[in-house]
Amino acid sequence: MNADDNTSPSLANLPGLWTRSLIEWPDGRRDVTTSVHWLQGPGLYIDLRQPAARPDFSATRELTDVTDAQLAWLVRQEGFAGRLRHEHGWFEWGREIDFQPQAIYSDCGQLSFEADYMLEVGRDIPYIEHWHRAAIGDAARCVALRLRDATDGRAVSLVRAGDVFMLAVDRSVSLPNLPDLAACVAAAADRDAQLALIDCELSFGSVGPLAWRIERSSLPWREGLTFKVRCDGQSLRFVDACTRRYDVVEAEGDLSLLTG
C-alpha cells in the first residue's frame, strides 16, 4: 500500500483519502458494496457511507422534491465528522456531526498496515474493516476547519487533502433518542419534520483550478455544484450562486489550500 509499511498507523501518516472494501461483524454479516469515503486531515476528519442500490435522483432539484422511495434510501446513509484521536494504541473517531443518531458504543478501534490495505479492528464491537489509500496528489498537504454558520449557528466541518475535499453541515434540528434515522423519520409529525431530519450534508468532491466541485453527497441533488472558497483566518465563505459565510472555530494545517 502507499504508506510506510514499516511503520504503524499514526496521526502523522493517516492524512488523505481512504476507501473501504469490507466491513465484517462478529455475527458473520459482511458488506462489500457500500461506498465509503473517509478524508483525514491533520486531526479533523469527515466520513460518508452510502449504501448500494441508490435510486435515481436526476429529477430531484431540492429537499422538497424527495419521494418516499428516495427517502427510504437516504435514511440508510451514514456519515460523520469530528476529530480523530490516538491514545494508548486506540484510535477514536469523535463525532461532532452525525447523520445518524448517536450510537451506544464509541467509534474506537486499532489500526495496522497490512500488505495491501489497512486493517481496523473495533474495540467495543470486534468488527473488522479493510481500508485502502486513494491517490489524490500530495495528501500531506492538508487543511481542516471547524466552522459555525454565521446565519443559523449550524456546526460545519471542512477538510481538504491533496486534490479532494469533504464538507459536513449539521442539520438545524435535533434527532430524537431513537435507534436510527429511519425510526426518527417514521416518528416525525409530518413531511416537513421528516425532511428537516435528513437535511444533514456530507459531501465529497474535487478541487480544480477554477472551482471546487461536489461529486458525491448525502443530499444527492447537490452533486455537480461548484463553488469557490475564500478564507481570511477568521471567517470562510463559499462563493457560488449565493455566498454563504461561516465563522472559523478551529483551524489546522495549511490555510493557503483554502483558495480557488
pLDDT tens, position by position, 200-229? 999 999 999 999 999 999 999 999 999 999
Question: What is the value of pTM for the model shown?
Answer: 0.95
Res 5: pLDDT: 47
Mean pLDDT of 135-154: 96
Picking from 135-149, 175-189, 229-243, which range would have the lowest pLDDT averaged per residue? 229-243
Percent of the chain with pLDDT over 70: 97
Res 241: pLDDT: 66
Per domain, the residue ranges of the chain are 16-250
Instruction: Note the pLDDT tens digit of each residue in 96-128.
Output: 999 999 888 889 999 999 999 999 999 999 999
Mean pLDDT of 9-29: 97
Picking from 7-11, 17-21, 203-207, which range would have the lowest pLDDT averaged per residue? 7-11
Res 247: pLDDT: 97
DSSP for the chain, written as a single string: --S-TTS---TTT--EEEEEEEEE-TTS-EES--EEEEEE-SSEEEEEEE-SSPPP-TT--SGGG--HHHHHHHTT-EEEEEEEEEETTEEEE--SEESSPPPSS--EEEEEE-SSSEEEEESSS--EEEEEEPP-S-TTSEEEEEEEETTT--EEEEEEETTEEEEEE--SSPPPSSSSHHHHHHH-SSHHHHHHHH--EEEEEEE-SS-EEEEEESSGGGTT-EEEEEE-SSEEEEESSSEEEEEEEEEEE-GGGS--
Confidence of residue 4 (pLDDT cuts 50, 70, 90): very low
Mean pLDDT of 161-172: 98
- Topology given in CATH for the domain delimited by 16-250: Lipocalin (2.40.128)
